[in-house]
Structure 1
Amino acid sequence: MSLRFEELDWQETPIGEISLRRRRHPVSGEEVYEVKLGDEFLMSSLFTAGEIALAELGLAGLPNTGLDVAVGGLGLGYTARATLDDPRVRRLTVIDALEEVIDWHRRGLVPLGAGLASDSRCRLVHGDFFARAGGTGGLDPKEPDLRFHAILLDVDHSPRDVLHPRHAALYRPSGLRSLAGHLRPGGVFALWSNDPPDERFLSALTEVFAESAAHVVEFTNPLQGGTSANTVYVAGTKTGAH
């Protein structure tokens, strides 16, 4: 493999050109997987602490067994993998707008793909998470009445920096109310963000959910040196409320 990169796949999609690349880190020698949308980097296997923390923080306060979880955004699969690593999880539905990304996992082009695609608890669904979250047909088209203990979302860069303008509605109180309707009583919504905690978004969460908090997740940045940080928002509905 070139020290620069090897392009594993390139596809034209409804939101632009998406590519999966693999390279070898010049210092550690480890294989690094990267996803680009056009010229913009979407994700890298060098930075997974926030994606893993999204699952761990989102599931932390939930019941001890039989959890039904939905993840919006498959990406390289780190949130989904961390969710399935929790022994309390009974069923995981992962919704991604790009069939191409789901295909990477089914073809084993990404390190976690084969394990996710073959796990009987995990279903990879091609669909528009934002349209489903705002609608009444359920997040899982095969089980429209299914309500989840947790919904974990990692698609946009942040509530203010969205990949598509129509995503912005979900981060307002009306959109969050629709999303909360897909949760069980006492359920949790958790969101990954690349930006520092946003008081305006926290205010919107407070308007809809019984409790909410922003957790700053710090991690080593081998590209820039020092540390970087993501934010994970966690919001819970009232027990017994709908």
Structure 2
Amino acid sequence: MRFEELAWRETPIGAISLRRRRDPALQVDVYEVKLDDDFLMSSLFPVAEIELARLGLAALDGNASDEGRPAGNEPAGARALDVVVGGLGLGYTARTALDDRRVGSLLVVEAIEDVIDWHRRGLLPFAAGLADDPRTRFVRADFFAVAGADGFDPDRPGRRFDAVLLDVDHSPRNVLHPSHAAFYTPEGLRRLARHLRPGGVFALWSDDPPDDDFAGVLAEVFDDAHAHVVTFPNPLTGGESANTVYVARLAA
């Protein structure tokens, strides 16, 4: 079969679908997520989603603890890391985060229950093990709403984390829903920063080139911020494409 729609659901922000197609030129199965007619992600281009986790977690120093995380809000060091992934999608960012041996818990915040169900049903073979890993916990919630409220863990309001890795919107300027725009302001990012421990990291995927204005917004809130250009081969064009990963860190 050249094309198969694996899942489809109408949501408040549009119809989301997961489909699989066979690329005859590359001889691979390609998994794609669409929101209405807009392509959100493809398994042909996972590099930047993977680098979102790698670059974000690389900004945290220290090693994993063999005994788990002690109580308190100590900077990352002799304890396991608590990580949030905002936006599950095809699972590349979350799966890569679990590959970091320092990660002790992974909380994945996803607004659409069907997307979580794709992973629980094992529809995405390259994300195998994500849903079954004992460190993983799915939270069905609007990332932007909970970031501005009591936090990402509904069982522990006010809980703080070592890293928040976000991949939902196309970019800070090209959002999927108008309600997301306020997050990318100094006020919105300060609310997010309240949920990070000292030395905590916020990392963001963007489909656009580095944005100096948004970099300035990050610098207002965080003590250190960088935009990393991630390049990768594009088999559709035969050339090279690029995404941006922003990594911002609070003072320890």
Does 1:170 find its partner at 2:169?
no
Q: Paired residue for 1:50? A: 48
Superposed displacement of residue 186, structure 1: 0.4
1:123 aligns with 2:121: no
Give structure 2 stretches of 5+ with no counterpart: 65-79
The answer on 1:188 being equivalent to 2:201 is: yes
TM-score normalised by L of structure 1: 0.95
Contact in 2 for aligned 1:105/1:112 (Cα 8 Å): no
1:113 deviation in Å? Answer: 4.6
Q: Residue 99 of structure 1 aligns to which amino acid in structure 2?
A: E
Letter in 2 for 1:95: V
**TM-score normalised by structure 2 residue count:** 0.92
Residue correspondence of structure 1 range 28-39 to structure 2 within 5 A: 28-39=26-37
1:227 alignment partner in structure 2: 240
CA positional deviation for 1:224: 1.5
Q: Which runs of 4+ in 1 moved over 4 A?
A: none
Asked if 2 retains the 8 angstrom alpha-carbon contact of 1:20 and 1:33, the reply is: yes
In 2, the alpha carbon distance for the partners of 1:88 and 1:113 equals 19
Structure 1: segments with no counterpart, 5+ residues: none
> In the alignment, what sits opposite 2:118?
104
Contact 1:106 1:114 in 2 (8 A): no
Equivalent in 58, 66, 69 of residue 83 of structure 2: 69
Shift of 1:110: 1.5
Cα distance in 1 for partners of 2:196, 2:92 equals 22
* Residues 107 and 114, structure 1, Cα contact 8 Å, conserved in 2: no
Percent sequence identity over aligned pairs: 67
Please state if 1:208 is matched with 2:206: no
Are 1:85 and 2:109 matched, yes or no?
Answer: no
Question: 3-state DSSP class of the match of 1:115?
Answer: coil
Q: Distance in 1 between matches of 2:177 and 2:42?
A: 20
* Residue deviations 1:66-89 (CA, integer Å, cap 9, x gap): 010000000000000000000010
Equivalent residue letter for 2:57:
L
Distance 2:236 2:157 in 1: 43
How far apart, CA to CA, are the structure 1 residues paired with 2:34 and 2:125?
Answer: 17
CA distance in 1, matches of 2:180, 2:50: 23
Q: What is the distance in 1 between the residues matched to 2:127 and 2:54? A: 20
- For residues 110-152 of structure 1, give each alpha carbon's deviation from its aligned partner in whole angstroms, at most 9, with x where no partner exists: 22454111100001111010001111x1211122232110000
Between stretches 102-111 and 48-57, larger displacement belongs to: 102-111
